[in-house]
Structure 1
Amino acid sequence: MTGARRSRRDVVRAATAGGVGVAMAAVGAAPARAKSTGATEPTEATAAAQAAGSPADRPHGLLAAVLLYDGFTALDAVGPYEVLCRLPGLTVTTVAERTGPIRTDTGELGLVADRRIADVRHADILIIPGGGNRGTVATMNNAAVQAWVRRVHERTRWTATVCTGSLILGAGGLLRGLPATTYWASREYLERELGAVYTPGRFVEAGRIITAAGVSAGIDMGLHLAARLAGEDVARALQLGVEYDPHPPFDSGSPEKAGPDIQRLALELIDAAAV
């Protein structure tokens, strides 16, 4: 195994050894109560927020920006997208430092970034997917991306992460003192290095930040976000539209259920596929 072919389990080691050089200024918000899977609260209106820039910066209605970066995990981005792209009044766009194909953590798939982050000054919803060790750590250390995330987050209606996307958001100090979740192998790092309060759940809502657990949990988060934006009936319809009714053939979808041997094998398989 080469040094480049590392997985999420190495995020803690690599980030610590490499000195994640990102400012950790806290946002000064008081810790919020966690709202985990199944939380329901009054819905928000779907009227468009005031645009921060010119009309060319965003289409009519609400805008959701999905951040892409080299080494992101495909389902982390595509899961929420598949739900939210059909939400009435919401446009979902992909953004990155450059436009064009952005490769995933395996290097075998590329998603097209439609806009440069330099051209997107406002988003009503910001979604940050997770990635493998290479992509996550690089984005935690990317000053331009971190500055953009902090700037856009100041005016979002919702900021959401999937999997190790919480580490990217937390690298800018935006999760300090807040309840949050992340990929199972990154729980300790989230608390110890980024100051979040790890809270188990498929997703955790803290104020206007929603963090989702690993990979597939982004679909759950997307449905919850759809309900918060447009009501439960719309979210239920979207769930049926994508026929999201999981009945996995194996009961090993959490580390507690899987046990140490399966945990180890899972990380080895992720290692083997990473570039």
Structure 2
Amino acid sequence: MTDSQKHIIGLIFYPGMTSLDIVGPQQVFSALPGIQIYRIWKTLDPIQTDDGMMVLPDTTFENCPSLDVICVGGGLEQRAIVDDSEVIEFFRKQGRTAKFITSVCGGSEFLAKAGLLQGYRAATHWGMREHMMANLGVEVGTERVVVDRNRITGGGVTAGIDFGLTIASILYGEETAKIVQLLLEYDPAPPFDVGSPEKAGPELVNKALLFMQGASNLELAK
């Protein structure tokens, strides 16, 4: 890595997003040398995530520079803005020049609706796989991270750290990514081996789907 190697990363924040989708990758990116991170939304007003966290964007769509990496996450309330023409146009505009077009979790839906996943494989949250395939025509993989040329997409929520380390490896090499992983002490040892629908089994999957649907209905009723 030399001082001349700089990378501009844009993280899209929006009301109702899942904070960990972006906070995980941001933690990885912030440990890399020569990185400029922009936290982007329509305005600079505070944003409330779907877990109640408040975040403050530092860049608007209007004053955002051309990005090397554009990334967006998902959220329980993404349906409220995923068809917003201003949002979709921002992705289309940045997608014309970005070196890497990326997402975590349900953020892949934004990319798909902007036409940026046509002809590409992608990862997404397991609860959105059928929607992405049936309604948006995207070939969906079940891996934690799918790399298809310059489209790099992560699965649900916690896959954002795996995704971030994958980006780090692509930008700066495997050794740098390994150093960041060690610094973060990223050594997962979950208490339960049910972190994917394939492992959880149909009964637990159905309960989780009902939980997600209940959360969505609760938000719609507000």
| Aligned-partner Cα distance in 2 for 1:204–1:273 | 28
Counterpart secondary structure, 2:16: coil
Pick aligned residue for 1:104 from 44, 49, 70: 49
Structure 1: which 5+ residue stretches go unaligned? 1-43, 49-60
Alignment of 1:205-220 (within 5 A): 205-220=147-162
Distance in 2, Cα, partners of 1:70 & 1:236? 33
Distance of 1:213 and 1:45 partners within structure 2? 32
AA aligned to 1:117 is F
Matches within 5 A, 1:114-193: 114-132=58-76, 134-135=77-78, 137-193=79-135
Rate the CA distance shift 1:45–1:194 in 2: closer, same or farther, 3 A: farther
Aligned pairs, number: 217
Aligned residue type for 2:120? L
Once the two structures are aligned, what percentage of the paired residues are identical?
35
* TM-score of the superposed pair, with normalisation by structure 1: 0.75
Output aligned runs, 1:229-244, within 5 Å: 229-244=171-186
- Pick the aligned partner of 1:228 from 154, 170, 181: 170
Task: Return the alpha-carbon distance in structure 1 between the equivalents of residues 57 and 83 of structure 2.
Answer: 20
* Matched position secondary structure for 1:190: helix
In 2, Cα distance between equivalents of 1:139 and 1:235: 33
Give how far 1:101 is off.
1.6
- In structure 1, what is the equivalent of residue 202 of structure 2? 260
- Does the 8 A contact of 1:45 with 1:230 survive in 2? no
More helix by share: 2
Q: How far did residue 109 of structure 1 move?
A: 1.0
8 Å CA contact 2:68, 2:100 repeated in 1? yes
The one-letter amino acid paired with 2:134 is R
Higher relative contact order, structure no. (Cα contacts within 8 Å, ≥ 6 residues apart): 1
* Partner AA of 2:114 in structure 1: G
Deviations 1:109-151 (A, max 9, x none): 111111111110311111111111x32x233211011101111
Contact (CA 8 Å) 2:21, 2:160: kept in 1 or not? yes
Cα–Cα, structure 1 residues 93 and 86, in superposed 2: closer, same or farther, change >3 Å?
Answer: same
Cα drift, residue 46 of structure 1? 8.0
Post-superposition offset of 1:199: 1.5
Pairs within 5 Å for 1:69-108: 69-106=14-51, 108=52
The TM-score with structure 2 as length reference comes to 0.92
Report the residue type matching 1:169 in the other structure.
L
| CA contact 2:95–2:116 (8 Å) conserved in 1 | no
1:63 aligns with 2:8: yes
Deviation at 1:173, TM superposition (A): 1.5
Misfit runs of 4+, over 3 Å: 44-48, 267-275
What is the Cα deviation at residue 261 of structure 1? 2.1
Output one character per residue of 1:23-81: Cα deviation in whole Å (capped at 9) or x when no partner.
xxxxxxxxxxxxxxxxxxxxx98845xxxxxxxxxxxx321110011111010010100
User: Structure 2 regions of 5+ residues with no counterpart?
Assistant: none
Whether the 8 Å CA contact 1:46–1:230 is kept in 2: the answer is no
Question: Does the C-alpha gap of structure 1 residues 142 and 45 become closer, same or farther in structure 2, counting only changes over 3 Å?
Answer: farther
SS at the partner of 2:198?
Answer: helix
